[in-house]
Homo-oligomer: A and B are copies of this chain.
Amino acid sequence: MDIPQPIISTVDIVLLLIKDERLCVTLSKRDKDPYENQEALPGGYIHAEEDRDCLDAAVRILRQKTGLLPPYLEQLKTFTGAARDPRGWSISVAYFALVDADLILSSANPGLTICPVDALRRLPFDHNEIIAAAVDRIRNKSQYSSLPCYLAGETFSLPRLQKIYEACLGEALHKVSFRRKMDELGVLEAVPGQTESAGAHRPAQMYRLKSEFKNQLKLLVRGL
């Protein structure tokens, strides 16, 4: 009675970045059958012979489609069902990745598009829903963690980081509170001597993630 059925198993990736102070998602032109040539989340089949697990598959697909390994990558949520893919009952394990925009723009990828998450048209499959889940996640985690730092480059000024947080949260933040919170999170360190001159005003001190947080998220949640 309990016989496994063939189910399409894929991985999709929501690669977020900041462009023009807006939260954007990376779309890739589909090169195969369903929805060929349409823009969709970068994704692909799980290769049971090749991938040790889904994270492996996500890394492989990211490298294939974008040519980079983002500094932050975690599982987002799994989307399943008979209705989401015209090929039949499918499972898509969605991943959530953050990257500095400069990395992706510099490694000029032809098939890639960067689109603001609040200006998306209707995408194939349930990809709008997947992106919505990713936006939800970054909104939530931006409230109490240093996650958005992975959207900045190696070094960045606090005013720029604040703009990134504001893009993630979709609301303006108060300067003093923001800086206090960053200080208290304790994940940043000033880069000695390095400043950023961005116009006719005082230059900003540059910061970077402390090395122990380079590949790890520090969650600081307040007690009950």
A residues sitting closer than 8 Å to B (CB atoms) are 2-9, 32, 44-49, 52-54, 75, 77-78, 80-83, 88-89, 91, 93, 140, 142-144, 165, 169, 173, 177-178, 181, 219, 221-224
Contacts and interface: CB of A to CB of B under 8 A. Distances in A.
Nearest to A166: B224
Contact of A80 (B2, B93, B178): B93
Given A4-B45, A93-B91, A177 B224 contact: yes
A78 B58 CA distance: 13
A5 B224 contact: no
A45 B46 CA distance: 18
Contacts of A4: 6, 8-9, 45
B6 A6 contact: yes
Protomer copies: 2
27 contacts: A2-B44, A4-B6, A4-B8, A4-B9, A4-B45, A5-B9, A5-B47, A6-B48, A9-B9, A46-B80, A46-B89, A46-B91, A48-B88, A48-B89, A52-B81, A52-B83, A53-B80, A54-B78, A54-B81, A75-B77, A78-B93, A80-B93, A91-B91, A91-B93, A143-B221, A165-B224, A178-B224
